[in-house]
Structure 1
């Protein structure tokens, strides 16, 4: 199976969380499930549009390549290299989320402070590690180009959602 499917799913999931993070802390109501779901959908919508840019870049690289099969193989190898660091990062996030939802209140708060907080701050480093992984795994400059564009787009989702829907404190 091509790594592109997994990378798109990871990118869209990250976009939904980015939408949630853009909204988080803006509403003091206790019952805000509808608002957080709306925020996640906003992030998903913005992420879907932004992730078209690396997809179009990869398609353009394939359409203009003299050897399409070789370029596809290079992009696939780079995609697997890109996927490995992101999978490790996503596993850490999932472990922290599981602790948050399954543990008692104090322990779940600790899981947020120790796990989710620092992992959110490490997102740009995870993207940089993924770009390096794409390059080192044999993806060359095409995979590095697509990966860098994809990473930049994913990192722009939260600021875009924040700027569009949550520009001021409620």
Structure 2
């Protein structure tokens, strides 16, 4: 905010030279007010990250709907013996939601760490664990054809890749802002 400059001035009568001046010169301190430059270069990357985040959230919602329904049907088909009851349907809803809620929650924790410019190994491992549970249920419920397996893995693999990339880029962006 304030710059300090040293300026050689003509001799004065108030004593011997100081501050490294030669005979007959005196160094005086002069304060100059200079405007502070505000960094605006990170607004564009920040705006683009916000846009990418909104797209990832929209994709998360879509993939969540697809994955949840596959997991609910899988849990409903494999979580009871005998005729289906209302309790079986409730358990299937809860079981289906747990893996996706788990990896989204862990992704949010990783995102918070990334905004601090840090990495959270525990959160990222949590994303992988819950993602694996979600993917496993979807693959096991999929028809036993190459096409069925491919359709089952498209949404979760795409989401995991987008989410991990977003967390890494947010961490880089936050670290660059702190530098």
Higher RCO structure (Cα 8 Å, ≥6 apart): 1
TM normalised by structure 2 equals 0.35
Structure of greater Rg:
2
Q: More strand by proportion, 1 or 2?
A: 2
Between structures 1 and 2, the one with greater helix share: 1
